[in-house]
Amino acid sequence: MRLATVGKWAFIVGLVLAGVGGLFSPVGWVVWVLAILGVIVGLLNIAAEDTQSFLLAAIAFVLSATALNTIPFVGGTIGNILGYVAAFVAGATIVAAVWTLFVAKMKPALVGKWAFIVGLVLAGVAGLFFQVGWMVWVLAILGVIVGLLNITAEDTQSFLLAAIAFALSATALNTIPFVGGTIGNILGYVAAFVAGATIVAAVKTLFVTAR
């Protein structure tokens, strides 16, 4: 079976599972299955040229689902379904966003690439095994280095879009009751890393446009 076929089946199964889980069986393990299926879709189904459109659609979905859930008359079954679909979308979005943030849009600056690798490894290790306040500052500084050395002017817009999509998806996952603990810690540390690079990219854009 081709990888693209696997990705298509992951997409179909994910949507069906989100609907069925929201209707009949709101349980914690469904969120994890949906997030994993989303990661598979993100890895296998989203082509480089479609990434920007996908990220925009993901941002629109997360914001719309959040807005619907704040309406008093919406909730229960609809809220469960939207939450499960959000977990599915978030898995794919995080993969697409991380690829855009740190792989597809980086120029070959050696120091910046090492800062990127060390940052991601530290975020994963810290989230898994220990949580300390100073790690956030280390990751933010590494993110600043990546933002200064690895993000070109022509790639800033795509980078900022991916950063927004990542932040929204990570937040959406963390608001789901069954998600938290280790995954929440890892996403929080990665978010600190991304924030450092994003602030640099945003400030560059602000000064260029305001001149």
Give the model's pLDDT for residue 3.
Answer: 60
Give the model's pLDDT for residue 75.
Answer: 60
Q: Are 7 and 43 in contact (CB under 8 A)?
A: yes
205 burial level (CB within 10 Å; 0-12, 13-18, 19+):
middle
For residues 182 and 79, give the distance between their C-alpha atoms in angstroms, rounded to a whole number: 24
Q: What are the per-10-residue average pLDDT scores of the chain (211 residues)?
A: 67 81 71 82 78 83 74 68 80 81 58 74 81 84 83 77 82 64 76 85 79 63
Which of 38, 42, 186, 172 lies closest to 103, judged by CA? 42
- From residue 161, how far is each of 21, 54, 124 by CA, in Å? 31, 11, 23
SS3 109: coil
Any idea which residue has 């490894």 for tokens?
121
pTM over 0.75: no
